[in-house]
């Protein structure tokens, strides 16, 4: 039977112990990166939809026409978007009385799969909202 000193000097399982210590931290970091990638993809999609709605709404002559054009542009843009549920998108055109108007696209991201991962590293809000301000008549 080996002595206690001989057993303490052995290094046979050092790699397994190091792996057991570092693997959970590495996996948590990986899942956090995946979660943020999904969130940022949805956020970029909402930003792009807002810009497309603003471009389309420039052609509108009245408040209702701008709203209709913006909603149509967002609906057409949602066809190619990953992680975006069309039922959870809201388009608002406001500020019609001035020489500028704003277009806001809001998305309720509560159903994204990221919230079941490590939410400690993700934003606190589960809603993504982007706004673009345009001058009446464009430019």
pLDDT digits (tens, 9 = 90+) for 64-77: 888 899 999 999 98
CATH number of domain containing 117: 3.30.1300
Domain span including residue 71: 12-135
**Above 70 in pLDDT, residue 138?**
no
CA distances from 122 to 74, 79, 100 (A): 26, 26, 34
Record the pTM. 0.77
pLDDT confidence of residue 58: 84
Whether residue 121 lies inside any domain: the answer is yes
Residue 101 φ/ψ, nearest 5 degrees:
-140, 155
Q: What is the mean pLDDT of residues 21-46?
A: 89
Q: How many domains does the chain have?
A: 1
* Model confidence pLDDT, tens digit, residues 75-97: 998 887 878 888 999 999 987 66
Distance CA 98, CA 115 (A): 40
Across the range 5-27, mean pLDDT stands at 83
More confident residue, 122 or 24: 24
Residue 88 lies in a domain: yes
* pLDDT tops 90 at residue 104: yes
β-strand partners of 132: 103
Q: Is the pLDDT of residue 98 over 90?
A: no
Position 7 in a domain: no
| In-domain check, residue 127 | yes
Q: What is the DSSP letter of 104?
A: E
Domain membership of residue 4 (yes or no) is: no
Helix (H) or strand (E) holding 3: none
């Amino acid at each position: 039977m080996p002595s206690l000193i001989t057993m303490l000097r052995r290094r046979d399982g050092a790699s397994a112990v190091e792996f057991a210590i570092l693997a959970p931290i590495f996996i948590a970091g990986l899942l956090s990166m995946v979660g943020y990638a999904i969130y940022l993809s949805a956020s970029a999609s909402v930003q792009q939809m807002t810009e497309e709605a603003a471009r389309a709404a420039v052609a509108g002559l009245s408040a209702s026409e701008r709203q209709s054009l913006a909603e149509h542009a967002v609906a057409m843009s949602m066809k190619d978007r990953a992680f975006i549920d069309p039922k959870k998108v809201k388009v608002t055109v406001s500020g019609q009385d001035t020489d500028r108007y704003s277009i806001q696209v809001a998305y309720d991201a509560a159903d994204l799969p990221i919230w079941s991962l490590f939410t400690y590293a993700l934003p606190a809000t589960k809603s993504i909202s982007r706004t673009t301000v345009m001058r009446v008549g464009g430019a």
